[in-house]
Amino acid sequence: MITRITERAAIRRLLDRDRIWALYALADLDDGLFEDCQWWVCGEALALVFEGISIRPIFVMGEGAELRELLGRMPADWGYLNLRTEQLAEAPGLWSYQEQHVMHRMVIEDWRPRTGDCVVLGPEHESEIRQLYETGDGGGVAFAPYQLATGFFRGVRRDGALVAVGGVHVVSRAESVGGVGNIFTRPDCRGQGLAQVAASAVVEALRAEGIRTIGLNVESTNAPAIAAYERLGFQARFTYVEGPARRITGRAIS
């Protein structure tokens, strides 16, 4: 049996069992995001359906029969489904991915920042940041203007032009979590370590605010990015799959 849960303290108790996997979901407990969340439980298994962005992320915690019942009965027929590799065995017959991305969740193990000159970026720099992302394929795919208001975006300039940027996807001071992302370097400036400089400045700012759990996501096939993050002291903690998926039955099991 599944039930909807709305008490933040009860949700937090479940998420705190694995803060690294639940990093993004913990941030969704903040006002302004929590209102777009639907939380469902089956025993100790938990699912989040986030309605705040168009791809409709779905996050789950749990294992075994409880997780399978939750996947089969939660009232969502489609979304951007996130499953750890060990959870994939519970999805066949219930959900089907239209597209899969195999990802690493990396967290700081032995912090070794790369220093360099950076500038603080805020909402007034949105147009400039978007122009930078447009110089190359894949830049800024998870960027949203509201992220700039967090105060954790940093950039590198050359001759006055913004050539590298780093920031966060989510951050919660209340839950002490930060998801580093939106990292990009202009194609003609790559190979100089500028992405590491920008990312380091972002992490330093998060650490200065007392954020305890800091992580990022990277495609498992992106060897150069993984190596760059490892040089900063990030390490992959586990692999997971994400992508657009649909319920095979087309509706929740009744």
pLDDT of amino acid 254: 45
AA letter at 115: T
**For the chain, what are the domain ranges?**
3-102+240-247, 111-232
- Give the pLDDT confidence of 10-41 residue by residue, as tens digits: 999 999 999 999 999 999 999 999 999 999 99
Longest dimension (CA), the chain: 62
Residue ranges of the chain whose pLDDT lies below 50: 254
Output the CA torsion 171→172→177→179 (10° steps).
Answer: -10
CB 245 within 8 A of CB 81: yes
CATH topology of domain 111-232: Aminopeptidase (3.40.630)
- Both tokens of 155, joined, read 């950039």
Q: Bridge-partner residues for 156, per DSSP?
A: 164
What pTM does this model have? 0.91
